[in-house]
Each structure stands twice: as structure tokens, then as C-alpha cells.
A and B are shown apart, each in its own frame.
Chain A
Amino acid sequence: MKVITPSGEKIDLLTVNIGPSHPATHGALRAFVALDGETVAAAAQEIGYLHRGFEKMVEQGTYQQVLPYTDRLNYCSAILNNIGFCLAAEQMFEIEVPERCQTLRVLLSELSRLIDHLVCVAAAAVDLGALTNYWYLFNPREEVYGIWEKLSGARLTNTFSRIGGLYRDTYEGFETDVANVLVSIEAGLDDAFKLLEHNRIFIERTRGVCPMTPDAAVAWGWTGPCLRATGVDRDLRKDDPYLGYDTYDFQTVVGTTGDTYDRLLVRMYEMKESLSICRQALKRLRPGRVNTSDPRLILPGHDKAYHDMEALINHFKLVFEGVRPPAGEFYSGTEAANGELGFFVVSDGTGKPWKIKVRPPCFTQFAAYADLIEGGMVADSIACLSSINIIAGELDR
């Protein structure tokens, strides 16, 4: 592409597609860039390669049938999506789940946040050529998947939460497994900190790379770790506490310059806070019910469904017609690993949602991608992409 630069120089720009199918794009994302040497003169990004029509498909089934779809939004932390959607539905019914369920949800949320951040940091380090971190961080992640497997039968797409509670209570030895995994994560994290935090190569590859100002981040609608990296102290767990997060002792982590280094380090320090929340939740875990007793939401037990006509009808109607929130429009946002994950639910009073719109956190971050990488080097665009943690599942829905 022959152009005249703003300074009046006549040059030849090279147009290159970064992605859509490239290991460094972590999914199918496309950035079309015009290169002046190794500098990105201009960029445009395209999404939709993983568009499955989430919002159309959830209109076809019942509210309970939405849950497996939510697993596939941010598949690195499926339980966070499950819980986010369940909270939205439960708030429409205006019910609260029992104490044990709340504590378990906090524990599972924070474990999910941990594995999500582990993937982000480990993959970002690999993209910069620091492969060792990957082993240190992915081994404890694997142990968490072991817990997920025992808990729900699935590793990646857990569908563990239910509207009104959880799929089931934990298994015997769950607390020990979690306590052990927290130790492994902490050890892996400490190793990664030693390798990265003061590593000269890492710092030179990330510090000052693709920075974002607080005002621009807000204008781009950023939330979560990427917004906090710019220095804006905002975390839904603190601002709009849900699941009793206000009773846990933890701190929000903020950065200063909003560059790639800050975005990754914010995630690493957040993992320490999540570890602490997990430990507090473990201490609080008391035996009890995990499901509400509200018959509008929870299936009657076998003992009732087999012997009581009304319970059988209730069971039939819940399965075939779905739970029925009151007609109306409702939005609920929770702090997912990437930022505010919102569900906007329109109900017509039947068991099928009229509309569910997901507000995916990484959508806003990828929208700013061209702005972030323009003027930098091609290699920086890769470092930047892994630090904003794009998960194509929730980006394209």
C-alpha cells in the first residue's frame, strides 16, 4: 500500500493479517494491520469467528437450559458464568440461596477466577517466550480441574450452579482437596512472581507497552482487571456486593499506568487476594442445605415426586415448562475474571426467556485493541493481546 505519511514522506506500507487462526490470537481473532517496517501504522480488528448465536439459542429453551450455554461464554472460568446467570435469575425471583450455597459459590468463583488468571498470565508469558511460567502455573490449574471433575463430572464446562442453588453438595474430602490446591497455586504463583516481576526481559517487553489512560478506559467501557490496571479502583465485589463479598477481607488491586505490565501484574496480585478469599470461605463452610426450598425453582425430591401427585406435577412443569420469573426486564452484573459480566433478561412470564443479552467483559477490551496497538511494534501487539485476555467464547457469543 503506497501512502504519503503525515510528515510528507512517500512510503510503502505492508498490509498483514494477524490471525484469525494463529496460536498467539488465543482463539479466532483477526487484526488487519498496515505495517511501516515493524511499526503498526494502523490496525482494524474483526470479530465473530466464534459467533454461535448464543442469544438466539437461549430463546429456544427454558431458563434452566440456558445454563450449559453460559459455560461456553468464558470457558476458562465456566463456573463464574453459571453463577452470574443464576444470580440474575434468582434476583428476578427475589430469593436468596442458603448460607452454605453462598459460601460455596464464593469459593468456587474465586477458584475459577484463579484458574482464569493463571491461564491469562501463563499464556501471556508464553507469548513473550517465557515458557517456564507455563509449567509452574498450569500444573496447579490442572489440580483445580481435578476438583471440578470430582465435583461436577466435567472439567471445562461444569454447569455446576443451578437457579436456586447448586447441582449438588460437595464430595467427601473436598475441603482437603481445595486446601491442597491453594497451596499448589500459591507455590506456583510465587515461582512465577520470582521469574517475572523483576525480570528485566519481561519488564522491557511489557512496561510502557500499549498503555491506557483511565479516562479512555472508561470511555471504552472497560471493567475488571484491565480497568483497575489503569488505576481506577472499581470492583463489583466491593461496590455492589453480592454473595456476601462485603463480609470477606480482601483488597482490590490497582495499577498506575495501565500498560501491559500493569495488566498482568494486577492479575497476579489479584490471585493472592483470591487465595485469601478462598481460605476464608473454607473456614466458613458449615454443613447445611445447598438449595433453596422454593418449589418454584427446585425440583421435589424423589421421595415426594414418586408418592405425591402435586409434587409430580410440580416436577413435570419445572422440567417441561421451566422456571417462570415474573414478566419484566432485569439486568444483573457480577465481577467475572475479565470484568463485569452482565445478563440482561427480558421475561414474558413464561418458562422461556424472551431475550437474554450477555454483556461480555472482553468485548469492550477488544474494541479498543486497534487504539492500543497503533504506533507500537508488531511484537508488542501480541504482548498486548494476551494481557487484555480475550476469550473468544464470550467475545463472539
Chain B
Amino acid sequence: MTQHPTALGEALAPSTPEQAKEFQTRAFQALSERFGATMDPRDRWGFTAVVAADKLRAVLQFLRDDRDSLCDTLLDITAIDYLGYPGHDQARFAVVYNLRSQKLSGRRLRVKVWVEEESPSVPSVHDLWKIADWQERETWDQYGIVFDGHPNLKRLLNHVEFVGHPLRKDYPARKRQWLSTNDPMLDQLEARLKAKGFEILESPLFNSPSIEETQLLGKPAKIQINNVGRAS
């Protein structure tokens, strides 16, 4: 990313659907020649490249930096759970990377990786895009897919005490969990301080109630309404 994107404002032209299709054909050729990518038949409207997990980082980096695609924006990372999907014969999970170019019009595609249920993991791309950090955390939180090499793979949307991965098809939609304490977040703050060159001598013990403290409150066994003393 050497060129300043403002300079590309002049080259800005609305893309036609034909141009977008053309790009997708070219991109598929390049990806299949270089990385052995295949086309996903499930995407009947656009273009999704299916790649092997060990080539994922190379593919994404190629799409980001290649002069023809310049898919510099990682719009989204998500996963799909195909458990029970009619006629499905592949791995249970797929992780989907949704890319778009801000420098060239009409450059959009998705990259898909199949992930087996036994060891659901894919390499992390947090160093290629800053936003991947949170997107991978969300995908881990919701689907339980591990992103190898992620520096801080913790839950993002769900509570710190939450158990399970709610967007998996075998997680009941109406299940409830008791969640009590909040996330102290000291680890994240200290990591950021250290990255800036601070040396930490002494951390505060708690900035929020500890798990032990909240357990003292306990789960209410039953709610008793006190009638004693009510005026009759």
C-alpha cells in the first residue's frame, strides 16, 4: 500500500456487473493456477474460491497485494456450520473471508476454507489486516473455530463466563446460562502498555468484583417475598 488512496479517486468509475464478472474470472484463473483453488458451487451469484487451510494466508496476501485485485479491505470473517445442511458431504465448518477492494471498483470475492469438526482451526491473519483480530475473536466466540497464532483469542460478543459456541447448529437457541462477573480486562490493557514499551511493576488487584466475590452472592435458590409486617 504505497500509493495514497486519495489519488485513486480520479480513477473511480462505477463498475458494471460485467466488469465485476470479468474480474472474478481472472481472479479464479490466477488462484487456481497458483494455489489450486476451486470454485464453490454454492455461491451461484458471485464468486467464492475454496482453498486449502495451509495456503490460506498466501491466498489472502496475494489477493490483498496483487495489482489486479487489490482486495485491501477485509469486510468480514465468519463461519458456516453445515451440520444438518441438506445434501452436505464436506467438512462440518467453513470459514469465509469476505474481501473487497477500496482502490478498484467492482472487486469483490470471498475465500472459503473447509474446517473439520475434530480440530477446528485455521491460521490467523491478524497481521495482514488489523480488523481480522476482532473478526477472528467473534468467529471463535460464535463457532469455536481456533485461529492459530492469534495473540488474544478471547470471546468478543458473548460474556467472559459463557460456555459453548452459540451459532453452532447444535447449540439450543433458548438455552440460558448464569453469568455473573465481568471481564477485568487487565491482561489486554497490560499487553497494550507493554507493546508501547512500558514496564509494569505493580498491577491493581481487582478493578471489578472477582469471581469469588460474585459467588458469595450466589445463585438465588428461590425468591421469597417477605409479607411480615404488611399492614392489613
Contact residues of A with B, CB < 8 Å?
1-6, 10, 13, 15, 17, 30, 32-34, 41-44, 46-48, 51, 53, 55-57, 59-60, 91-92, 214-216, 218-221, 223, 227, 231-234, 238-241, 246, 254, 326-331, 333, 340, 342, 344, 346, 348-349, 354-355, 357, 359, 363-364, 367-368, 370-371, 374, 396-397
Contacts and interface: CB of A to CB of B under 8 A. Distances in A.
Contacts of B9: 232-233, 254
Contact of B73 (A59, A218, A349): A218
Interface residues of B, number: 66
Contact of A357 (B14, B76, B105): B76
Contact of B12 (A13, A57, A238): A238
A59 B84 CA distance: 13
B157 interface: yes
A348 B86 contact: yes
A107 B1 CA distance: 37
A212 to B, nearest CB: 11
A41 B98 contact: no
Contact of A53 (B156, B166, B196, B203): B166
Interface string B187-200: 01100110011111
B134 interface: yes
B188 A241 contact: no
A326 B14 contact: no
B154 to A, nearest CB: 10
Interface of B: 1, 4-6, 8-9, 12, 14-15, 40, 42-46, 48, 72-76, 78, 80-81, 85-86, 96, 98, 100, 102, 105-106, 108, 110, 129-131, 133-134, 142, 155-159, 166-167, 171, 173, 183, 185-186, 188-189, 192-193, 196-204, 207
Nearest to B1: A215
B193 A396 contact: no
A44 B173 contact: no
Given A55-B167, A342-B76, A2 B201 contact: yes
Q: Is the interface of B mostly helix, strand, loop or mixed?
A: loop
Given A4-B199, A359-B98, A367-B134, A329 B173 contact: no
Contacts of A30: 185
Nearest to B185: A32
B130 A396 contact: no
Contacts of B72: 218-219
A44 B86 CA distance: 42
B182 to A, nearest CB: 8
B201 A4 contact: yes
